[in-house]
Amino acid sequence: MGVTVDYEAEIQALKRSMNAVILAHYYQESEVQDVADFVGDSLALAQAAEKTDADVIVFCGVHFMAETAKILNPSRQVLLPDLKAGCSLSDRCPPAAFKAFKDKHPDAFVVSYVNSSAAVKAMSDVICTSSNAVKIVNQVPKDRPILFAPDQHLGRHVMKQTGRDMVLWPGSCIVHEIFSEKKLVQLKVEHPDAEVVAHPECEQQVLRHADFIGSTKALLDYVVKSPKSKFIVVTEAGILHQMKKGAPHKTYIPAPPDNGCACNECPYMRLNTLEKLYRCMRDRTPELVLPADLQGAALAPLKRMLEWSV
């Protein structure tokens, strides 16, 4: 018989011996969230990565998030449990195509969503997340046209909130773009006492049914503080774990996508498991490595985001 490994205990021991910090996104499996030192959305994770004094950053999220941590901490080792944990939104904005798109708008101030590659970040003036996108766009000089990439749905939402016209890269997230408006309406009929909370990466026909639209962290804060007791949650289902921890007496209904699944999970986020987390810390691999010149070019727009988010 094989030896059973207590992954949680081993991870905690490795963390101490390595002087490591474990950062996890809200969309990770619940058991991964529970061993992390810090769980948050993209903005909070970037802020935590910038402030850490750990020697090793173990990033339980997707590739662009680990890249962000490395850009902010070029001298530290950054580990990612599964290098295949990518992002459909980032993949749909190839750097060469983005450069050609940007060249057509030479006067534009480029605001890139954090869900993008390091190469796209390096071609940007400032980065944003869904938490701070409105705040960031409001600080762009009024005399500059804005190019926003890569999520067109978030871009349209930000345009409505800020009144700024923007040229949008035609990208979208596979998780948020397949929520079914028809199934959402059916859920609202079945649960008339429930509020609908949705992420701005969703399509407009879905967002129009929402009582509250916000980033992952904003959705979490809203449902915990709301006097309502039932919510239909239109984003990746991993956030339900934190919602249940924050307000366990409330009811959370994951909105189904337009396929046969009961809830909507990011296939890339779910590549990270407790076992892979343990093995990557034990073996110190896979490690996220970026060319120094790319790190340097991408650092300025990331730093600008953190400064503008204060």
In this structure, is residue 260 part of a structural domain? Answer: no
Length of the chain: 310
- Rounded CA-CA distance 196/31 in Å is 26
Q: What residues make up the domain containing 125?
A: 89-173+297-308
The DSSP string of 275-289 is HHHHHHHHHT-SB--
Instruction: Assign residue 145 the CATH number of its domain.
Output: 3.40.50.10800
| Same domain for 96 and 79 | no
**Annotated binding residues for [4Fe-4S] cluster:** 87, 173, 266
**Annotated binding residues:** 25, 42, 87, 113-115, 130, 173, 199-201, 216, 266
In this structure, is residue 262 part of a structural domain? Answer: no
**Annotated binding residues for iminosuccinate:** 25, 42, 113-115, 130, 199-201, 216
| Same domain for 219 and 79 | no
The sheet carrying 230-234 orders its strands as 212-213, 195-198, 230-234, 251-254
In this structure, is residue 191 part of a structural domain? Answer: yes
Q: For every one of its 310 residues, what pLDDT tens digit does the chain have, with 9 covering 90 and above?
A: 566 889 999 999 999 999 999 999 998 999 999 999 999 988 788 889 889 999 999 999 888 889 999 999 999 999 999 988 878 778 889 999 999 999 999 999 999 999 899 999 999 999 999 999 999 999 999 999 999 999 999 999 999 999 999 999 998 887 777 788 899 999 999 999 999 999 998 999 999 999 999 999 999 999 999 999 999 999 988 999 999 999 999 999 999 877 655 457 777 788 899 999 999 999 999 999 999 999 999 999 999 999 999 8
In this structure, is residue 264 part of a structural domain? Answer: no
| Same domain for 99 and 67 | no
User: What are the C-alpha distances in Å from 19 to residues 45, 68, 76, 275?
Assistant: 18, 20, 11, 20
In this structure, is residue 209 part of a structural domain? Answer: yes
* Residues β-bridged to residue 232: 196, 253
pTM across the whole model: 0.89
User: What are the C-alpha distances in Å from 192 to residues 159, 214, 232?
Assistant: 30, 21, 10
In this structure, is residue 60 part of a structural domain? Answer: yes
Q: Characterize 159-188 residue by residue with b for buried, 16 or more Cβ atoms within 10 angstroms of its Cβ, and e for exposed.
A: beebebebbbbebbbbbbbbbbbeebeebb
Domain count along the chain? 3
Residue type, 305: M
In this structure, is residue 235 part of a structural domain? Answer: yes
| Same domain for 188 and 144 | no
Contact, 184 vs 255, CB < 8 A?
yes
In this structure, is residue 1 part of a structural domain? Answer: no
| Same domain for 154 and 187 | no
Per-residue confidence (pLDDT) for residue 200, from 0 to 100: 94
- Rounded CA-CA distance 54/57 in Å is 7
